[in-house]
Chains A and B, each alone.
Chain A
Amino acid sequence: MSAMVKPLPVQEAYEDLLQRSLSRIPCDLGRLLYLASTRDYNTGNYHHDGLADRFSVKVARSALEIAHRQAFYKVAALSLEELVRDLAAYLESSRENPEEFLRTWQRLEPYRIAIPMEVNPTVARLFASNVRLALAVLRLRQSTHADR
């Protein structure tokens, strides 16, 4: 008789989330923003209909929370060069006007909502600062291209 190790429900839900939803998103920043968007702004609770149907609301919430934190730390640990590349990929996948996109991101700083609840404040600052710098780099590149 072979002993089968049954995965924990949260782990199963997490893997399901990775396979079905996150693998379709082409960049780390996109995955992070997607996961942040599953969080309710008022309560801080995460919700995903499909995942909650397949597992339970509670299990889906935990899986989303774990995935969000992991995605955040991954992006926060990217070097500036990698982040600029990732942000450029996100910009391209959004199919928005690049100039407008960069201007709006610099003004509204929407990436701040991508920070999970209980993370180290230094890491949170580093993340926001790196995105600000990556935006400045992309704008600089854009103006250099426009000048040519």
Chain B
Amino acid sequence: MIGVWSALAGALVLLLVLLAWVRAEASSKDSRSDWGAADQEQSEGEGESVEACSPEIVSQLFSAADSKFISGFESPGLENLFRRERTAIALHSVQETSAFISKVMRRHLEASRLRADLEIATEARIFLQYARLKLYCGILFVLIGLLGPHRLAGTALYAERFIQRVGEGLVEFQSAAQLREPEGSESL
């Protein structure tokens, strides 16, 4: 009997996560359509020269002060607008981070194919790091869609910083690996 209840609870949780994902995806799509051309251009290569989102901006995105300021007006319309706007940007920020991590990993894989001295243990560690980062991005995406960024303030900020720090580590590792590449191999 306990097994049936556990299965039902698991299915319910899964359903909620799926619903949150769909909701988050819809909010993020709404904001994407508004900025379509600009975003496409960024993702098609020019994004490399674009600097990363600073921690100040990320903390502002999840800021409780802005939320408090808006709720001070006691206007449901304004509060809805604020929640919608902030959720869309926070989701976009997570997607951007996730895309950046994927790009770094793709480049690392391309570079790895040209190397003869691959270390399985190091590669496995990098892959685990990558999988962990993608998982964090996925969880953050669902949580933002479910609760909204202002309710997550501390957690989201911590996760974003962590993702960025590890992502930067991945980039540094990749740069170091590129320096070690044998002469004559193609550069990225």
Interface string of A68-109 (1 = CB under 8 A from B): 000000001101110000000000000000000000000000
Which of B51, B54, B69, B93 has a CB less than 8 Å from the CB of A80? B69
Is B81 interfacial (CB 8 A cutoff)?
yes
Beta-carbon contact of A118 and B78 below 8 Å: no
Distance in Å from the Cβ of B172 to the closest Cβ of chain A? 20
Residues on B with beta carbons closer than 8 Å to the beta carbon of A133: 70, 78, 81-82, 85
Stretch with Cβ within 8 A of B (4 or more), from A9-17, A18-26, A119-127: A119-127
- With A80-B70, A125-B35 in contact, do A120 and B50 touch (Cβ < 8 Å)? yes
Residues on A with beta carbons closer than 8 Å to the beta carbon of B38: 121, 124
Is A140 interfacial (CB 8 A cutoff)?
yes
Residues on B with beta carbons closer than 8 Å to the beta carbon of A125: 31, 35, 88-89, 92
Across the A-B interface, the 6 shortest Cβ-Cβ residue pairs: A129-B85, A80-B66, A122-B93, A81-B69, A122-B53, A125-B89
Which of A76, A80, A136 has a CB less than 8 Å from the CB of B57? A76
Beta-carbon contact of A136 and B78 below 8 Å: yes
Beta-carbon contact of A79 and B60 below 8 Å: yes
Is B49 interfacial (CB 8 A cutoff)?
yes
Is A52 interfacial (CB 8 A cutoff)?
no
Residues on A with beta carbons closer than 8 Å to the beta carbon of B50: 118-121
Beta-carbon contact of B73 and A118 below 8 Å: no
Which positions in B face A, CB cutoff 8 Å?
Answer: 31, 35, 38-39, 42, 46, 49-54, 56-57, 60-61, 63, 65-66, 69-70, 73, 75, 78, 81-82, 85-86, 88-89, 92-93, 96
Beta-carbon contact of A121 and B52 below 8 Å: no
Beta-carbon nearest neighbor of B49 in chain A: A118
CA distance A140 to B71 in the complex (A): 13
Beta-carbon contact of B39 and A121 below 8 Å: yes
Is A132 interfacial (CB 8 A cutoff)?
yes
Residues on B with beta carbons closer than 8 Å to the beta carbon of A81: 65-66, 69
- With A121-B38, A121-B92, A136-B81 in contact, do A126 and B60 touch (Cβ < 8 Å)? yes
Distance in Å from the Cβ of B27 to the closest Cβ of chain A? 13
Distance in Å from the Cβ of B123 to the closest Cβ of chain A? 31
CA distance A120 to B51 in the complex (A): 6
Beta-carbon contact of A79 and B65 below 8 Å: yes
Is A137 interfacial (CB 8 A cutoff)?
yes
Beta-carbon nearest neighbor of B94 in chain A: A122
Beta-carbon contact of B57 and A123 below 8 Å: yes
CA distance A125 to B51 in the complex (A): 15
Beta-carbon nearest neighbor of B85 in chain A: A129
Residues on B with beta carbons closer than 8 Å to the beta carbon of A132: 81, 85
Beta-carbon contact of A140 and B73 below 8 Å: yes
Beta-carbon nearest neighbor of A77 in chain B: B56
CA distance A140 to B81 in the complex (A): 13
Distance in Å from the Cβ of A78 to the closest Cβ of chain B? 9
Which of B35, B46, B66, B85 has a CB less than 8 Å from the CB of A79? B66
CA distance A122 to B42 in the complex (A): 11
Residues on B with beta carbons closer than 8 Å to the beta carbon of A124: 35, 38
Beta-carbon contact of B66 and A121 below 8 Å: no
